[in-house]
Amino acid sequence: MNQLRRMLTNPQHLLLLAVGLLLLPALLTHLGLLAFTGDEAIRALVALEMRISGNYITPTMFGEFYYNKPPLYNWILLAVFDLTGRTDEFIARLPTVFFLLAYATTVWFFVKKHLSGEGDRRGRPYHGTDCQLPTVELLTSFALITCGRILFWDSMLALIDTSFSWVMYTMFMVIFTQGERGKHGPLFVWAYLLAAIGFMLKGLPSVVFLGIALLAYFFWVKKWRKLFSLAHLGGMAVFGVVVGSYYALYAQQNGLTTVFSTLFNESAKRTFVEHGLGKTVLHLFTFPFEMCYHFLPWTLLAVYLLRKNALQLLRQHHFIAWNGLVFITTILPYWVSVEVYPRYLLMHVPLAFTVLFYLHFKNKEVGSPTVRWVEGIFQGLCWVMLAASFAPLWWPAVQHVPFLYLKVGFLAAATGLLLWAYRRWEAQRMLTFMAVMLVARMAFNWFILPTRLEIDCRNQVRQTTLDAVQKLEGRPIFIYKGSLGQEPVPAYYFTRETNQILAIKENAIDSNAYYLLNPNIYPISYKQITSIKTLWKCEDLTVAKIKEGEKVRR
């Protein structure tokens, strides 16, 4: 009883309890409300076509070979679909939440492991008080979840990037951990195994990051000769067995030339080879600012890098230096690539946050004025969130939301209480603001997502497609030539509801079937049954019957 009382009177324990209570509701509420984005629909559509065709080796989309990504994530989706008996948006996005939590746990494990001797991360009393500093690993792992890009976007999408980033981050940490222990055999085996898993998720980028990380580590510790060792050959063999086994099976059903050239083009098309030198040079200057923007608010801590002693502090700890080194070296391929989406950078986020929170603690320890400036900004953001809590009361678009006043009351009370804690518990300010971010995500779930449901075209695509399925009367449906283009969203919903691969038909019209037809491109005689929306300018696409043997009118 006394232990429980001490826990409930400890500010850090109270805040951890608040974060724990908010975390799953924040990540799961309305997770399946919105329709799929294009890339989400590709992942789910390829998985569904695997299940319908019974072919789990050679992925297809629209019934034709799909070469852009290896199949591991599709297998994961299929396993979740089979386990739950559902194929809807919530279930498809659930693995992302799982991988995000696993990712954050992995960050906590490795940072704790390598900073266990640091006094400023062991929770000692802060400035002579009974209030204890949270640890670097605790803040870094929660910061990964609560940075803006992940919390308000990537954690809600059924995409590969979170799982791939988790695997790549683990690979970086395994290289350091095993290297520091002098166990180079396990280092290469585990690194190449993780790279193989990454390859099966996303293709060639995992090989690029493996090569960069190995070169960076062994040249950094001045043991580059290990790169030419038998242990390294053993690691390569592991990669070859895992990836080679799959492609040996693949080659029995389809050639390898197209699949490997496509995987290479998927990586090369984002570089200056495709976009030219001018756009690449411009991107070199704008990229750091874009990255800081997308991963706010925690990138505000980057101000510590501007202090004169920042580099000296980073060099004081081998693990912190490794995080900085592997961040700089592995982000270079994206820095020089024009077409880069923020989700590609998720593997770099905990590397940067580990460095930034370490510098935050070091500056806080000596009473740096920069800390007061940074914490003042976070307090200002708390006040903004408190004021914004009442905005739904005057926002016409959300007046239909159930329990409006109760939800506003919760947001205002929770934010107000956390603001009080932020001002009172100085040592816990970063942890307190992480709880504020989770409250903000709850507000986003309750009020922003329902408004998007009303106005976002992809939700209209979903609804019109589901309505069209009801009018098919159990008859098959196909795509007439290039009428649908490469839009996977309506294709996913047709495939899900009909349990039929939505294939493309060039000729041999079946008078008993229906077709998705764009009469502006193919002006033939048809009988319209209904229409659906497409993501291309939210235009209509006809669902029709076409007469057998119908010719295109000239």
State pLDDT tens for residues 6-55: 555 678 888 888 999 999 999 999 999 999 999 999 999 999 999 999 99
* Number of domains composing the chain: 3
Q: Is the same domain home to 119 and 229?
A: yes
Range of 208-217, 275-284, 305-314, 356-365 with top mean pLDDT: 208-217
How many CA atoms, within 13 angstroms, populate the side-chain half-sphere of residue 450? 16
User: What sections of 133-271 are H helices per DSSP?
Assistant: 136-146, 148-151, 161-180, 184-202, 205-220, 230-253, 257-268
Q: Is the same domain home to 344 and 488?
A: no
Q: pLDDT exceeding 70 applies to what percent of the chain?
A: 91
Q: Is the same domain home to 513 and 400?
A: no
Indicate the pLDDT class of residue 474, thresholds 50, 70 and 90: confident
Average of per-residue pLDDT across 321-334 = 94
pLDDT the model gives residue 383: 96
- Cα 268 from Cα 203, distance rounded (Å): 12
pLDDT the model gives residue 166: 98
Q: Is the same domain home to 334 and 468?
A: no
Average of per-residue pLDDT across 106-135 = 62
Residue 25 lies in a domain: no
Residue type, 222: K
Q: Is the same domain home to 498 and 394?
A: no
Cβ-contact 523, 451 below 8 angstroms: no
Evaluate if residue 286 carries a pLDDT over 80.
Answer: yes
Residue 287 lies in a domain: yes
The sign one gets for the Cα dihedral 112, 113, 114, 115 is: positive
**Last residue within a domain, chosen from 365, 393, 414:** 365
Q: What is the pLDDT of residues 180-227, one digit of tens each?
A: 999 999 999 999 999 999 999 999 999 999 999 999 999 999 999 999
Q: Is the same domain home to 301 and 417?
A: no
Q: What is the pTM of this model?
A: 0.92
Q: Is the same domain home to 147 and 176?
A: yes
Q: Is the same domain home to 128 and 217?
A: yes
**What does the block give as tokens for 292?**
């800081």
Q: Is the same domain home to 397 and 430?
A: yes
Residue 471 lies in a domain: yes
β-bridge partners, 60: 65
Write the CB contacts of 261 (distance below 8 Å, at least 6 apart in sequence): none
Segments forming the whole domain that contains residue 384: 380-452
Among 95-99, 274-278, 343-347, 525-529, name the one with the lowest average pLDDT: 274-278
Question: How many degrees, rounded to 5, is the angle at CA 205 between CA 203 and CA 211?
Answer: 120
